[in-house]
Amino acid sequence: MTLPTTLDEAVAALAAMPAAVPVAGGTDLMAAVNSGQLRPAALVGLGRISEIRGWQYLDGHALLGAGLTHARMGRPDFAALIPALAASARAAGPPQIRNAGTLGGNIASASPTGDALPVLAALEATLIIAGPGGARREIPVSHLLAGMEMLRAGELIGFVRVPLLHAPQVFLKATGRTGPGRALASVALVLDPARRGVRCAVGAIAPMPLRPLEAEEWVARLIDWDNNRAIVPEALSAFGEYVAAACIPDPGPAEDGSAQQLPPAVLHLRRTVAALARRALGRALS
């Protein structure tokens, strides 16, 4: 176990020990170690790297350190900046998990139920990856989650670049119980008034967050951006249905040409997504 104090030291440590595994909050990693599924040869602890535990402003963007904990992101000052990310951080589990788990860890674990992921997808966040020799490269978070681009050996997620949109954002999560639980489905929705856009991502129903792009474009045109972002109420439910149908499409006709029904559990999931998307848009525009 090594405990570097800068990002470059951490990258160097990983380069020196290719078998080492970086660990931040350890909320997923240590559970895997304890259950015997993972036996890392060495660990590089990221907890002492102060440069990635805060955030800074950069050209209308916020540069969020990968080591920000859910607990830190859930506080009001952060919520004023990026409300949806703060809401997802507050929903990300019991206090013990929120105190330890980090933004970077949520991305690196890429669990389908990672609560920050749909928010980052909706925000079209990009990752700043630190590589050997002080190298930095930037990739969209969706590329990493979709496996289009991977972290190379010795690379670490350093920062997450998120646009500051100065408009309402919503994160809604449906779970099986009132207490903390994994999302059955979640929806992140952000407004981008400068570009007159609505961006939405649905989490937990697929291996990575899904973006219903057509539904976003369609509903953005229905919003009266100059008049208090007014919208006809029917458009909200139509948007919900549109999003749900895009994420969970109708099954194709059977071989004999008859229409097929979705299984009841999937149908319920689709209804859940529709309700969440409708509520999210309604709250963002209210």
Partner 1 sequence: MSNEAATATTAAEAAPAPEPIPHGLGVALPAADARAKTEGTFPYAADLWAEGLLWAAVLRSPHPHARIVSIDTSHAREMPGVRAVVTHEDVPGSPVHGRGNADRPVFASDVVRHHGEPIAAVAADHPDTARMAAAAVIVEYEVLEPVTDPEQAFEAEPLHPDGNLIRHIPLRHGDPDAAGEIVVEGQYRIGRQDPAPIGAEAGLAVPRPDGGVELYVASTDPHTDRDTAAACYGLEPERVKVVVTGVPGATADREDQGFQLPLGLLALKTGCPVKLTATREESFLGHVHRHPTLLRYRHHADAEGKLVKVEAQILLDGGAYADTSSEALAAAVSFACGPYVVPNAFIEGWAVRTNNPPSGHVRGEGAMQVCAAYEAQMDKLAKKLGVDPAELRLRNVLATGDVLPTGQTVTCPAPVAELLQAVRDVPLPALPKDTPEDEWLLPGGPEGAGEPGAVRRGVGYGVGMVHMLGAEGTDEVSTATVRVQDGVATVLCAAVETGQGFTTLARQIVQDTLGIDEVHVAPVDTDQPPAGPGCRGRHTWVSGGAVERAAKMVRTQLLQPLAHKFGMSTELLQITDGKITSYDGVLSTTVTEAMDGKELWATAQCRPHPTEPLDETGQGDAFVGLAFCAIRAVVDVDIELGSVRVVELALAQDVGRVLNPTQLVARIEGGVTQGVGIALTENLRSARGVIRHPDLTGYALPTALDAPEIRIVKLVEERDVVAPFGAKSVSAVPVVTSPAAIASAVRAATGRPVNRLPIRPQAAVVTGQ
8 A C-beta contact, residue 62 and residue 82: yes
Smallest Cα–Cα separation from 19: which of 38, 54, 43, 53?
43
Q: Which helix (H) or strand (E) covers residue 73, if one does? A: helix 70-73
Q: Which of residues 18-57 bind partner 1 (CB under 8 A)?
A: 35-36
Segment contacting partner 1 by CB under 8 A, of 65-73, 144-152, 253-261, 275-283: 275-283
Site residues (CB under 8 A) for partner 1, limited to 225-264: 264
Phi and psi angles of residue 201, each rounded to the nearest 5 degrees, phi first: -140, 145
Among 247, 104, 91, which residue's Cα sits nearest to residue 170? 91
Q: Which is nearer to partner 1, 133 or 176 (CB)?
A: 176
We find the least distance from the C-beta atom of residue 3 to partner 1, in angstroms, to be 24
Among 17, 90, 110, 238, binds partner 1 (CB under 8 A): 90
What residues from 147 to 176 belong to the interface with partner 1 (CB under 8 A)?
172-176
**Assigned token pair, 61:** 């963007």
Between CA 183 and CA 106, with CA 80 as vertex, the angle to 5 degrees is 35
133 versus 264: smaller Cβ distance to partner 1? 264
Please say which residue, 161 or 270, places its beta carbon nearer to partner 1. Answer: 270
Q: Is residue 177 close enough to count as binding partner 1 by CB under 8 A?
A: yes
Q: Evaluate whether 20 touches 41 at the Cβ level (below 8 Å).
A: yes
Q: Which residues in this chain contact partner 1 in the complex, by CB under 8 A?
A: 35-36, 87, 90-91, 94, 172-182, 184, 264-265, 267-268, 271-272, 275-276, 279
